[in-house]
A and B are shown apart, each in its own frame.
Chain A
Amino acid sequence: MADAVQGSIGHLAEPTAPEAPVLEDIRKPWPARIRPGYLAILIVLLVFPFISTGYPLTVLTEVLIFGLFAMSLDVILGYAGMPSFGHAAFFGLGAYGTAVLAAKLGQSNLAVTLSVTLALTAVLALIIGALAIRTSGVYFLMITLAFAQMVYAAATKWTPLTGGSNGLPGVRRPTIFIPGIETTDPKAFYLFVVVVFALSFFVLHRLVNSPFGRSLVGIRENEVRMRAMGYGVQRYKLAAFVVGAMFGGVAGLLWATFNSFISPPDVYWTQSGTVLLMVLLGGSGTLVGPVLGAAFFQVLELVLSSKTEHWQIVLGAVFVIFIMFVRRGLMGIWAQFLSLRRGHA
């Protein structure tokens, strides 16, 4: 980043300087250089089920769902700089909302479940957010954590609705009104997840690179200054919190329908910790990083749990080592690698 800024200053001073492409990258909201890369990944994701099915497809579906979940937290944590330790609340609300609609009311029409999920998470995020943004730092962390535990308490105690600690089975896959598409088929469901993931990524990517998103980064870097410049800082923060929560809810919707089941552990505070870890492992404030972090986490968990009974110890140790020695996550390593290749190191 520092290199890029220096490059751009050099460019302004001398219009013919060789650093010109670097400035190009900063100015364009969607760097032309990367766009083909995103498209290529999307095509690979879409073609994947026609090459490989079964277990790898299941893993990839999970990675995408948690990738979306981590990405949604990144808007709050990475861009707006609010350390939310209660993101599982929105994941859980989306999941339970969908589950209750499907299992208790027999409603699994996607248009209905999606609208209900978005509305519920938005309302909850407005309430939690309005209280939490009055504070910052550690207090923000603890308040969001406490609220998420309230949602967990509701999930375990409101037995008639949520099934209590037994959870809620029989969450049907969503019905989409396109003839011939049946999401009960793993391949079709996977493609459905890919579409939701890609659309969410597109929307969030546009959002964080919009003037709104840049203002969030400004608030993260220097809130006092942004306030002095006349920005309604609190409104920006609340908006970021609500948007992140809504996409977290969508991830929850996908998760409940993917497993056809939802139970309280998915809403527990460790889930909030895990998704936070995914964001930091991948590199916060990058949107792509958290998805990588989610993939890294899920694959590592699968590999370790197939090798040893005590995989949690190894997984925990990996986290500790990562936090100790890797700054700015996987994306940080990638950026270092790029700058080495460019000869800026």
Chain B
Amino acid sequence: MFSFDFLFVQVLNGVGYGLLIFLLAAGLTLIFGMMDVINLAHGSFYMVGAYVGFSMVSRTHNFWLALVVAPIVVGAVGLVIETGLLRRLYRRVQLDQVILTFGLAYMATDIVKWIWGPDVRSIDPPAGMDGGTDVLGNFYPTYRLAVIGIGIVIALLLWFLQRRTRIGSIIRAGVADKEMVSGLGINVGLVFSGVFVFGAALAALSGVVAGPILGLYQGMDSDTLIIALIVVVVGGLGTLTGAFWGGLLIGIADTFGKVLIPEFSLFLTFAVMVVVLLVRPTGLFGRRLA
């Protein structure tokens, strides 16, 4: 049972899934790090992105176009939410922001059901990627390999943005000390909007990428949100590095759990989280509490 091929294929599956949830958790963790907001509508951004992508692909049969359009649409929605609603609540207690995004998530579930109906759907993988490829003697779906590729590319892009650009250094500084950054003459409000829109767009992107593998169904927003929250908690709130390693750890744990102990795979994910929190209450890469 534990042959090399078996382990290899499962690790590939786990890495692919881990990178997908990294994309989700990245937006969530950035929004938290920047604005101290736990965005419970993050799963809804993912869901809406997936459904917009589904509509695009079924009309134009162009997956790559959907991959561009869905993040733009959802990013625009994010902009409206941040400037119209969330911005007014930054000075309030955190729970008010949590509840606001909970209310929005509530609405999103029903709006999506209204527009796209309750049926289970799936996005067709892009042309030429619906088959399989030989990887070290194993037949492996080409699209899943592409997902790993997309995930790695975006991870590198995010790393570059954060470490090597001016915007990245502003965001890192903002996570560390907002007052100081605004004292230096940087428009923090604009940075907040930017981070929120970017996070929303990233969630939408992962919705489209995940569409051909995980499918579109009612409740996908909640399921996704919970997984992303676990990744963020395991990795440490507000750190991209944490989201990356947390995503891979949870992705691989979940994949092996589903294969080896299908009845208890959900527990395995939570068990990983509990163990991490027992050892480090603020996550693997989180700053320690004062």
Contact = CB atoms under 8 A, between A and B. Distances in A.
A142 B100 contact: no
A153 B270 contact: yes
A210 interface: no
Interface residues of B, number: 43
A318 B40 CA distance: 17
B175 interface: no
Contact of B102 (A149, A157, A319): A319
A135 B106 contact: no
B40, B106, B230: which has the most chain A beta carbons within 10 Å? B106
A269 B222 contact: yes
Interface in B190-239: 222, 226, 229-230, 232-233, 237
A142 B89 CA distance: 20
Interface string A124-162: 000000010011111101110111011001101100000
B36 interface: yes
A251 B171 CA distance: 45
B263 interface: yes
A323 B100 contact: yes
B274 interface: yes
A153 B114 CA distance: 28
Contact of B104 (A270, A310, A316): A316
B99 A319 contact: yes
Interface stretch (B16-24, B63-71, B90-98): B90-98
B100 A312 contact: no
Contacts of A255: none
B126 interface: no
B162 interface: no
Contact of A145 (B32, B96, B103, B229): B229
A85 B99 CA distance: 11
B166 interface: no
Contacts of A320: 85, 100, 103-104, 107
Contacts, number: 112
B253 interface: no
A169 interface: no
Interface in B100-124: 100, 102-111, 114
A146 B233 contact: yes
Given A149-B270, A153-B270, A83 B99 contact: no
Interface string A315-342: 1110110011000000000000000000
A135 B232 CA distance: 15
B222 A138 contact: no
Given A141-B38, A149-B226, A310-B114, A323 B278 contact: no
A273 interface: yes
Interface string B253-268: 0000000000110110
A277 interface: yes
Contact of B233 (A143, A276, A277, A315): A143
B100 A143 contact: no
B85 A83 contact: no
A241 interface: no
A312 B85 contact: no
Interface residues of A, number: 39
A280 interface: yes
A335 to B, nearest CB: 18
A268 B106 CA distance: 14
Nearest to B98: A141
B88 interface: yes
B15 interface: no
Nearest to A83: B95
A313 interface: yes
A139 B109 contact: no
A135, A138, A310: which has the most chain B beta carbons within 10 Å? A138
B282 interface: yes
Contact of A324 (B85, B95, B273, B278): B85
A273 B281 contact: no
B102 A324 contact: no
B46 to A, nearest CB: 16
A312 B98 CA distance: 18
B94 to A, nearest CB: 6
A323 B89 contact: yes
Contacts of B230: 146
B234 to A, nearest CB: 10
Contact of B226 (A157, A269, A319): A269
A85 B32 CA distance: 17
Interface in A202-230: none
B181 interface: no
Given A134-B281, A142-B229, A280 B95 contact: yes
Top 6 closest pairs, chain A to chain B, by CB: A316-B107, A319-B103, A153-B266, A312-B110, A316-B106, A320-B103
Interface of B: 32, 36, 38, 40, 85, 88-89, 94-96, 98-100, 102-111, 114, 222, 226, 229-230, 232-233, 237, 263-264, 266-267, 270, 273-274, 277-278, 281-282, 289
